[in-house]
Amino acid sequence: MPRPFFALRFLSAQRWIPTLVGTTLAALLALNSFVANAASIKTPHAEVELVAAENALVPGQSSRIALSIKHAPHWHTYWKNPGDSGYPTKVTWDLPPGYSVSAFDWPVPKRLATGPIVNFGYEGEVLLPASISIPRDAAVGASVTIKGKAEWLVCKDVCIPEDGEVSLSLPIAGTARMVNLDAWNKAEALVPKPLAGWSGEARIHGRDLWIELKPSTEAAKLTRFDVFPEAEQITEPAVQKVYSTSTGYGAMLKLVDGAKVPNQFQLVVSSPNNIGREQNFGYLSVTTKNIAVAQDIGGYTLLADSAPSASLTPATASVGSPSAPVAAANSTDAMSFWAAITFAFVGGMILNLMPCVFPVLSLKILSFAQHAGAKNGSSANAVERRGAMRVHGLFYAVGVIVSFLALAGALLALKSAGSAVGWGFQLQNPSVVWVLAVVFFLIGLNLMGAFEVGTLAPSSLLNFTAKNPGIDAFFSGVLAVIAASPCTAPFMGAALGFALTQSTLAALAVFAALGVGMAIPYVLLAWFPKWLDRLPRPGPWMVTFKQVLAFPMFLTVVWLIWVIAQQATIDGAAIALVGLVGIAFGAWLLGSLRTRARVAGAIAGAIAIAFAWPTTAMVEQANSANTSQSATSSNGAQWKPWNPDEIAKLNAEGKPVFVDFTAAWCVSCQANKRLVLTRDEVVKTFAQKNVVLMRADWTNRDERITKALTAMNRSGVPVYALHAPGKPVQLLPELLTTGIVVGAIAKL
C-alpha cells in the first residue's frame, strides 16, 4: 500500500568572504592609533564585522572584542532568548593555541512585535561584546589573527539566515590603549549588570507564572517596566502584565505548554526609570517557590501569597501585552475536557461526509458489495464472512485512530521544539501534495483497469495479505486520515484548538476521539450489515462501478495539482501534469503481459515522479508572488493580504475587518469561498458596512499565521475572524452559510 512521506527542505544562506585591511605591524606600532577591525561582511540586510576595544593584545591578560551588527532599516537579529521564533547570533571560533573567547555579554534587548509574534532582539546598530584571553607565552612583536564563522538570522517580513567568516588581526605588545572609547563605553553600558539588593520569587499555578520583584531600598520608583527571561521556551513572549505591589512589583507571564520551570533562573528587568543608580536595566536571579495562592485580579490569576489583591494596581502595559480577546461565545478557554472530547467525536463522524474523504471511503463500497452478494453457501460460511467483515472494520478503525495519534504526536513534537505548526501542516509541503497526487492518480488508473496491483506484487506479499486481510483495512484507515487532513468539520476547530493548549495526554485523548468518531460509522456497518441485503448480487455492474469510482480520484488529483500551482507557481503545476502523463505511460507498460515492458513501466513511472518533484526555488517564487498579491473576486470584492498591524489601525479608524484564514489544500475553505463569500448578498453586506476584507493564506507554512491561529485557540483552517471596533474578536463557524455571515455583519 503506497504511503506518502515527508520531504525536508533546507535553506542555505549566502556566504560572504571578508578581505583583511592590509597594513604592516611596524606602521601600526608607529601610529599607535590602530582601529582594530576587519573588512565587514555586507549583505542587503546587515553589515557584520569583528572589532576590538584596544589597539593590541597583552600577554597573560584579557581584552574585549565584539561582533558589530549594523542592521538595514526595519531588519533585526535576536537576543540569547529570541522569543517566539528565530535563533541567537553565534560565532564558531577558530583560534590559535592558548587563546579563548568567552560567550557574548548580551546587551538588553527590545520587544519586537509582528502581529501576534513577539521576539526579543536588536535593530539599528549593536555590539555583542566578549572577552578574549591571551596566553602568557604570546610573543611580543608578533601578530595574531582572531577569526571565526559568524551565523545570524536577520528578519523583517521574512527571515533570512546568513553567515560569513569574520577575522581580526592584532599585534602582541607590552601595553595597549583603548580605541573608539565612546562607542565601547556605550556598548558596555548596555550590558545588564546584577541588580544589587533586589530579590525575586516565582510561583506557578497551571500555566500562569507570577514573578514577585522586591527592589533595593535605593531603587527609584517604577511606573512601568519589562522583563526578559533568559531561558528559552519557558514563557510565551506575547503574554505579559506588570503590576505594582505593596512590597514592590510583579509580572504575570504565561508558561509554554509543558514547560518545566527551573528552581532558579535569571531574567533581565528593564525600565525607562532608574532601577539601579547607573542603569535602567539589570539581571535578577529568581527563585521558584512551590507554594502558590491563586487570586483573581483584574481578570488575571495572580499567584502571590505575599501580595493581596487590594495592594495590586496595574502598571502601564508593556508592548507585549495580549491582543484583544476572542468573543466568549467562540473561545475555547472555558471549554471542558469532556466537551472537547464530544466535539472531536461528532466532528470525526461528520468528517466522513467531507469531499476530501469520500474518494477513499468509496473504495470500501466494493468490498461491501462483494460480501453482500456472497449469499450462497452454508451458514458456517456466512458466520465466517460476518466475522471477517467485523475484523476488517476493527482494523480500519485501528488504522484511523493510530494515524490521528501519529499526526498529533508529530504536531506536538514540532510545537515543543519551537516550530509553529497546526492542523494540516503536512500539506504545506508541496512535495507531500505531489506524493498524494501520484497516489490518487495511480489508484484511479488501477480502478480504470490500466494495471493490476496483484500482478505486480511479489507472491510472498500477496500470500501475506491473503492470510492477514486486516492489513489492507488498516492502511485503508491510514489513507482515509491522510485524505481527511485538509478538511475540517463543524466542532473540529474548537476541539483541536483546545487540545493543543492542554497536556500531551489530554491532547492525544482529543485526537483519539476524533479518530473514533471518523471510524465508528464504518465499524457499525461492518458489524451490522443488514443494509447490504438491498445491494444487487455480484456481476458485471461491479466492473462498471469500479471504473466510475476512478473519476472522483481524478478530480482529487485535479484539486491537488491546483494546490501545487498555489505553492510552487503555475510552472510547477505544468511540470506536475507532465509528470502525470509519464506516470500514466508507465502504468500502461505495467499492465503489459511482458516482463521487460513492466520493468520499463516501473522505471518510466519513477523517472516521471522524480522529474515533477516541486523544487525549493518554485516555492520561494510562489511565496514572493503571494506576499504582494491582493485578490479581487469575480463580483468585485477586494481582498487584501492579511496584515495584523493594519487591523488595529483600521479598527481605530472605526472600520471593521473580516479575515479569512484559508489554504489552497483546505477543501472546506474553498467550498466556503465559492459558495458563500463570493455570493452577491454577502459582498453587498460587506460593502454596506464598509468592512475591510483580508485573506491570510496558509497554503505554504507561515509562522505568523500559525501564531495568530493559536492566539484564537485554533489549530487549523478555515477560521473566519471578525474584528469590530471596540469589540472582542468574533469567530464564525468553520462551515459558513450566507445567513451566518450576513447576520454577523448586520450586527456591526
Mean pLDDT of 577-605: 84
Predicted confidence (pLDDT) per residue in 139-197, tens digit = 999 999 999 999 998 888 767 888 899 999 999 999 999 888 888 888 888 898 888 88
For residues 696-710, give the mean pLDDT.
Answer: 81
Confidence label for 80 from pLDDT (cuts 50, 70 and 90): very high
- Integer Cα distance of 737 and 668 in angstroms: 12
**Range name among 38-47, 211-220, 487-496 with the lowest pLDDT average:** 487-496
CA separation for the pair 80, 126 (Å, rounded)? 14
Question: Residue 29 pLDDT > 70, yes or no?
Answer: no
pLDDT of residue 674: 82
Task: Tell me which residue has cell 450489515.
Answer: 529
Phi/psi of residue 743, each to 5°?
-65, -40
- Looking at residue 659, what is its pLDDT? 95
Lowest-pLDDT range of 428-432, 499-503, 612-616: 499-503
What's the pLDDT band for 475 if we cut at 50, 70, 90?
confident
In CATH, 194-314 is 2.60.40: yes
E strands, 226-275, in order: 226-229, 235-244, 249-255, 264-270
Task: State whether CATH 3.30.1330.40 applies to domain 629-746.
Answer: no
pLDDT at residue 632, rounded to an integer: 56
Which of 253, 251, 202 minimizes the C-alpha distance to 225?
A: 251
Residue pair 303/210 in contact by the 8 Å Cβ criterion: yes
Contact 732, 720 (CB under 8 A): yes
**pTM score above 0.85:** no
Q: Is the pLDDT of residue 26 over 70?
A: no
Beta bridge partners of 166: 148
Instruction: Convert the pLDDT of each residue in 222-261 to its tens digit.
Output: 777 888 999 888 888 888 888 887 788 888 888 887 778 8
Q: Which band of pLDDT confidence, cut at 50, 70 and 90, is reported for residue 701?
A: confident
Q: Are strands 62-71 and 125-133 parallel, antiparallel or unpaired?
A: antiparallel
Tell me what pLDDT residue 718 has: 85
> So what's the pLDDT on residue 130?
95
pLDDT of residue 18 exceeding 50: no
Mean of pLDDT values over 673-697:
90
Neighbouring C-beta atoms of residue 464, cutoff 10 Å: 12
Closest CA relative to residue 158, chosen from 628, 565, 664: 628
Q: What is the CATH number of domain 15-191?
A: 2.60.40.10
pLDDT at 147: 93
Span 426-450, pLDDT tens digits: 677 788 888 888 888 888 888 788 8
Contacts made by residues 647-651, CB under 8 angstroms, sequence distance 24+:
647/694, 647/723, 650/692, 650/723, 651/723, 651/724, 651/725, 651/726
Give mean pLDDT, residues 450-465: 62
Q: Specify the pLDDT at position 728.
A: 82
Least confident segment among 5-14, 36-45, 243-252 = 5-14
C-alpha cell at 280: 535602567
pLDDT of residue 7: 32
Q: Which of 404, 425, 392 is nearest to 351 (CA)?
A: 404
Over residues 262-273, the mean pLDDT reads 84
Report the length, in residues, of the chain. 748
* pLDDT surpasses 80 at 466: no
Q: What is the pLDDT of residue 61?
A: 94
Strand 719-723, strand 657-662: pairing: antiparallel
Q: Return d(Cα 143, Cα 283) in angstroms, integer.
A: 37
User: pLDDT digits over 333-365, tens only?
Assistant: 345 778 878 888 888 888 777 666 765 666 665
How confident is the model at residue 299, as a pLDDT? 35
Q: How does residue 297 score in pLDDT terms, banded at 50, 70 and 90? A: very low
Predicted pLDDT of residue 654: 86
pLDDT confidence of residue 292:
44
Report the amino acid identity of residue 239.
V
CB-based contact 446:438 (threshold 8 Å): no
pLDDT at 691 (0 to 100): 93
* Signed CA dihedral, 69, 74, 80, 85: sign only: negative
How far apart are alpha carbons 295 and 697 in whole angstroms?
41
Mean pLDDT, the chain, rounded, equals 76
Residue 200 has pLDDT above 80, yes or no: yes
Average pLDDT (40-50) is 91
CATH 2.60.40.10 domain range(s) in the chain: 15-191
Using pLDDT thresholds of 50, 70 and 90, give the confidence band for residue 330. very low
Question: Any idea which of 129-133, 188-192, 525-529, 651-655 has the lowest mean pLDDT?
Answer: 525-529
Using DSSP bridges, classify how beta strands 235-244 and 15-16 pair: parallel, antiparallel or unpaired: unpaired
Strand partners, 94: 147
Tell me, what's the pLDDT at 670?
80
How deeply is 366 buried, as exposed, middle or buried, from its count of CB atoms within 10 A (0-12, 13-18, 19+)?
middle
Percent of the chain with pLDDT over 90: 19
190 with 176: CB under 8 angstroms?
no
Question: Which phi and psi angles does 163 have, rounded to 5°?
Answer: -160, 170
Q: What is the pLDDT of residues 92-112, one digit of tens each?
A: 999 999 999 999 999 999 988
pLDDT of residue 15: 33
Give the C-alpha separation, 128 to 147, whole Å: 15
Whether the pLDDT of residue 272 is over 80: the answer is no
Determine the pLDDT at residue 561: 87
Read off the C-alpha cell for 556. 482529487
Residue 156's pLDDT is 81
Out of 64-78, 415-429, 531-545, give the one with best mean pLDDT: 64-78
Does residue 87 surpass a pLDDT of 80?
yes
CA-angle at 116, arms to 110 and 120, nearest 5° = 20
Portions of the chain given CATH number 3.40.30.10: 629-746
Instruction: Examine residue 161 and say whether the peptide bond preceding it is cis (omega within 30 degrees of 0).
Output: no
Percent of the chain whose predicted confidence (pLDDT) is above 70: 71
Q: Quick one: pLDDT at residue 165? A: 93
Cα–Cα distance, 560 to 428 (Å, whole number): 12
47 forms beta bridges with: 42, 70
The grid cell for 547 is 471504473
Please report which confidence band the pLDDT of residue 556 belongs to, taking 50, 70 and 90 as the band edges: confident
